[in-house]
Amino acid sequence: MSSIIRWQPFEDLVSLRDAMDRLFEESFIRPRAWLAPFESGLAVDVYETEDNVVVEAAIPGVKPEDIEVSLTGDVLTIKGETKAEKEVKEPNYLRRERRYGSFCRSISLPSGLKGDKAEAEFEHGVLKLTIPKAEEVKPKVIEVKTKK
C-alpha cells in the first residue's frame, strides 16, 4: 500500500535554516555537548528524606582537605581544586579528558534547614552532605476524627 505525501517546497528551506542556526549556536554561543559535564563544575544529586535534605557530589581525585563547603541562607556552595599528579614532558597526548583546576558549584536548597547541624562525609570520591530539616518544615500527620 502506498501513501501520498504532500510536497511543501518551503519546509526544506526552514529545516536548512534551523540547521545553520544550530551550527552557529553550538559553535559560538553554547559550549559543545562534550563540555556539558564541566559547565557546572561538578555533578550533584539532591534528594529529600523525611528528616533531611541530602546532597551527593561526585568529586573524584580530590582530597577532603581540598574541599570547602558553606551554607549561606538557602544556598549551598561547594568549592575545591583538583591538581595534576605529574607533568608529562612530551605533550603527545592521544586524548586528554581529565580536568584540573578549581571548581565551584552553588545550589539553592529548600528553606528551613538547620545548617549548623549539617554533616559531611567523603568516601570513594563522593561527598555526601546531610542537612537536617527544621521541625516547622517537617511534614506533620494530622489525625482525622469522626464525630458521633
Domain span at residue 119 reads 40-86+94-137
pLDDT the model gives residue 73: 86
Cell of 125: 570520591
Q: Do 121 and 98 share a structural domain? A: yes
pLDDT the model gives residue 37: 45
Q: Do 80 and 16 share a structural domain? A: no
Q: Do 47 and 32 share a structural domain? A: no
Amino acid at 95: R
pLDDT the model gives residue 33: 47
The per-residue pLDDT string of the chain (148 residues; one tens digit each, 9 = 90 and over) reads: 667 877 776 666 667 777 777 777 766 655 544 444 444 468 899 999 988 999 999 988 888 888 999 998 889 999 988 877 666 666 777 777 777 788 889 999 988 888 899 999 999 989 999 999 888 776 778 888 888 7
Q: Do 107 and 74 share a structural domain? A: yes
**Residue at 144 is within a domain:** no
Instruction: Please count the residues of the chain.
Output: 148
Task: Name the domain count of the chain.
Answer: 2
Strand segments (E) across the chain: 44-48, 52-58, 67-72, 75-82, 101-108, 119-123, 126-132
Q: Do 62 and 27 share a structural domain? A: no
Cell 592521544 appears where? 94
Q: Do 56 and 33 share a structural domain? A: no
pLDDT the model gives residue 31: 52
Separation of alpha carbons 129 and 27, rounded Å: 37
101 in Cβ contact with 83 (< 8 Å): no
pLDDT the model gives residue 47: 94
